[in-house]
Structure 1
């Protein structure tokens, strides 16, 4: 405990305490606004995926159209059997439908971005005061830490322990969230790899010459999912698709069994992302409340130490 430092710093302690009191009211709306923005960004992710899928379907139809227009044996055989006109019409209809998907998904994404922007703009104004609050609080805490070094006041000790408990709760949630966010990025990497493989397989019409019972699975997707499971063992398993249904998608595309298999795996990855998002969303509310409580508890702790400086340390 340093009495001399307390004497030198009491005016600054008072100034910082008053400054904190003047902006402390922004912490709750700031944290609530931040979690709202994060939730909206999570809810935007399926739309982003929809945009990528729409782009991929349009690309597949455009590739089919290019193949028909190229002078090849396949095109020649279609011509001889009078099927080329029908195939061209299918491509035109497919491109029309997939273009509409691209436009609609793009519109939905723009609307989602606008909703986020409407909250981010006023939130940025609050964030200025919140940064000031955090700076004042940190400066005051460090100053009082120096004064109360090796001190033993029961009330100060009790509040310090409460602060540390709250801090530990926040740290635990933060570490869990960081892992989940890494897992989400790995799943997205796997998903994108699968989507690219579907497009490539359709363009090349490559069967990979697999024997019965085997399936093609892109290595980047495999590696990403393996890393995700190692990082987060609680991650649910991915059920293997067991039935091939020869059905057209919403643009009229028919997929080979291998391509359909990869589409079905992608659906399982979507379920995994929902599982991860649900945990992130749950943690957000808990963490937000913990952060608000932590800030209030730090202020209570510092006010008690300020009282001790005035009424005990400087009065002796």
Structure 2
């Protein structure tokens, strides 16, 4: 039975929000909201779909939060309904690699989102949308927020730390610590930085660069800057052959039911194979045992009478006559 009035499923005014960069995200190109947007869904799914549709961007979308934010359905019912909404094409769960995040800015931090659309989409549409990498979280979102409230932007700019020196500059500055003949000034390092950076751009490590500049030195180096410039030019390594490394894919879909990650085409309807299989069949059969049907009372009485007659017959045939 379809839910007659999906507009009745209004969210609480203070629905919990996910951490910045996480939670609900609206997919693009949706139709305007209408009273019968979810009329094709069963009552439970239509109610929760209307509830989710009215949540703000970034709202928490986990089953526990959704169950606590509306009065009709508990966590298990919400989980099942989210699976059905995924099948119907209204949502997909993804994890997104936040650029420039993680330790030392290496880009290893994942944010978790639920993309939502009131306009149902088929799996091909979702695969194209997510396969092209869904929009990246902003640097502010990925960091978990911007500057503290009440701090003017002008003050933020004044307290910005200077950029750290490049690897090439640092390698040149370190030469004098181990090789006194090659002590350089700050101006010397700045003048030679581009040449040293060209070595690193060609795949040379800073240790290899240091060894190439310090090996076989004469007893005295009267002009370290000119000497090193000559070495940097004369020993410049060859340009490595061109390569076309494949850019890492930054968006990974998750199964709506069990959160197992996978490429969009591997999760049709937003669900893995185990979660798509009917209960008691396929891959999920080993985990979900079918619940035996409860017999009718008349069948139970008939079965009990048959068992009693069988036991009485066995006693009459026993040697003791018991």
Q: Normalising by structure 1, report the TM-score.
A: 0.23
- Structure in which a larger fraction of residues adopt strand: 2
User: Whose RCO is larger (CA < 8 A, sep 6+)?
Assistant: 1
- Structure in which a larger fraction of residues adopt helix: 1
